[in-house]
Each structure stands twice: as C-alpha cells, then as structure tokens.
C-alpha cells in the first residue's frame, strides 16, 4: 500500500481521469470552433474548471452574448457546490484557511463524489484530497488543451466514453447506500429530481432536490430515535 496520502489521492483520481479526458477533448474541440485560442482554453480550464459552465460559456460566446450574462449563468449553475462544500467542511475542521482555499477551488461533482466514498482516508488529510483533485484537474486541462489541436478530424469521443462518467456516478451512488434510511433518501431524491428537473429552470433542481431529500433523511432518523 502507498504510504503517502498524496499518492493515494492520485490513485483514487484515475477513474475520474478516464471520464474527464474525452469530455475535456470535446470541450477543446468545440471551443476551438467557436474561435477560442489554446491559451484561452487552458486559462479557462485552469481558473474556472467547471464542465457544464464552460460548455455553456462557449455556446454563449459563439452567439455573441454579453459577458455579464455568461458570468451570471455560471454563478447559478455552480450554486450546487454550496452543498458539497458544506458537507466536506465536516471533515476538514483543523485545516488552515489558505489550504481550504486551494482545496475548494478544485471542487467538482466528480472529485466530491469520489472523496466522500473514501471517507476515513480523506478526513483531515488535505494532501489526499489535493492529490485526488490536482490529478483530476490536470486531466481536464490536458484534455481540453489537446482538443484545441485535434480540430474536428477525429470525432474521437465515441466508443464507450459517453458512459464513463455516468458509470462512475452510478457506482458512487451505490456506495453511499449505507442503510435503509439512505435507500429511502435515494428513492425520494430520484423522484423529486425527475419532477423538479422538469418543473424548474436551469440547474435549480439539484439544490432543491438535495435539500428536500436530506430533510426527509433528518425526519426519518429523528422519528426512529424518538421511538
């Protein structure tokens, strides 16, 4: 076994790398078509590092939309990270501000999901989370910059790659079903998410559903303890 927590984190990131490379490649190719340069793509993947928002941004740039509306859309898409960041705060109680800044800047849905599946290992071990996240982000930056050079000659994102990230998330979801209560929360979140995705604009369904379903978790657990 690896003794260095950083190396353990790097290893834990490998399934994410497999998912990020093709998506990053696709992003780079599209960004290139919209007229972004390789260095602009690199800078965006380095400083923004948010898949959905970056795709939306190049779409809006291509339509000549105002910068402010792009930034506002990005803000709303990424509000879901409020919940993930709150959750992770439980496990980094003794970590310094500056380190927290570094760790949180690289937070994504995927790295969050992998991190909480490795709970005993990440707790109060910033190098583990850093190794996990820096590897993931390097794959994202590398993939997206490479994509700007591929142009459109390879529609190279087929094969099984469209299912790499969904498969990762399904397995991570299954790993979180730790009790009957968790199963109930999952089922409720599944039903709510389908409803709210249809009923609410943009990405709001993620925040609303996750809050409601966790609330149900609190109710079930409180009721059980009361008996």
Contacts to another protein from residues 30-69, by CB under 8 A: 36-37, 39-40, 43-44, 47-50, 53, 57, 61, 67-68
Is residue 157 near another protein by the rule CB under 8 A?
no
Using alpha carbons, select from 134, 182, 161, 174 the residue that is nearest to residue 11. Answer: 134
Least separation in angstroms between residue 150's CB and another protein is 20
How distant, in Å, are the alpha carbons of 17, 34, 151, 198 from that of 38? 20, 12, 11, 36
Judged by CB under 8 A, the stretch of 2-10, 137-145, 146-154, 157-165 that binds another protein is 157-165
Q: Of the candidates 182, 199, 202, 224, which one interacts with another protein according to CB under 8 A?
A: 182
Is residue 95 near another protein by the rule CB under 8 A?
yes
How distant, in Å, are the alpha carbons of 34, 43, 218 from that of 63? 9, 21, 45
Burial track 154-170 (b if 16+ CB lie within 10 A, e otherwise): eeeeeeebeebbeebee
Q: 19: Cβ–Cβ under 8 A, 6 or more apart, which residues?
A: 110, 164, 165, 168
Q: Of the candidates 62, 78, 127, 150, which one interacts with another protein according to CB under 8 A?
A: 78
CB 115 within 8 A of CB 88: yes
- 4 or 187, CB closer to another protein? 187
Is residue 93 near another protein by the rule CB under 8 A?
yes
CB 157 within 8 A of CB 151: no
Least separation in angstroms between residue 91's CB and another protein is 9
Q: Of the candidates 62, 83, 127, 138, which one interacts with another protein according to CB under 8 A?
A: 83
Q: Tokens for 101?
A: 């800044």
Least separation in angstroms between residue 152's CB and another protein is 19
Positions 198 through 217 that interact with another protein (CB under 8 A): 198, 205-206, 209-211, 213-217
Measured in whole angstroms, how far is the alpha carbon of residue 102 from the centre of its chain? Answer: 16
Q: Of the candidates 1, 3, 101, 153, which one interacts with another protein according to CB under 8 A?
A: 101
């Amino acid at each position: 076994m690896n003794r260095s927590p950083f190396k353990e984190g790097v290893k834990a990131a490998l399934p994410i790398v497999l998912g990020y490379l093709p998506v990053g490649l696709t992003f780079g190719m599209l960004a290139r078509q919209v007229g972004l340069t390789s260095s602009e793509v690199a800078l965006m993947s380095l400083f923004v590092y948010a898949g959905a928002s970056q795709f939306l941004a190049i779409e809006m740039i291509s339509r000549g939309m105002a910068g402010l509306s792009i930034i506002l859309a990005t803000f709303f898409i990424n509000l879901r990270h409020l919940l993930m960041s709150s959750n992770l705060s439980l496990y980094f109680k003794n970590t310094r501000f500056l380190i927290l800044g570094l760790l949180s800047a690289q937070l994504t849905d995927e790295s969050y999901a992998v991190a909480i599946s490795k709970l005993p290992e990440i707790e109060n071990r910033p190098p583990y989370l850093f190794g996990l996240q820096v590897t993931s982000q390097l794959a994202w930056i590398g993939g997206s910059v490479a994509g700007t050079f591929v142009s459109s000659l390879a529609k190279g994102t087929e094969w099984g790659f469209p299912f790499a990230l969904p498969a990762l998330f399904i397995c991570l979801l299954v790993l979180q079903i730790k009790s009957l209560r968790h199963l109930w929360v999952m089922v409720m979140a599944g039903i709510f998410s389908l409803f709210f995705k249809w009923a609410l604009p943009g990405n709001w369904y993620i925040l609303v559903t996750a809050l409601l379903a966790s609330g149900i978790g609190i109710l079930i657990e409180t009721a059980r303890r009361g008996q």
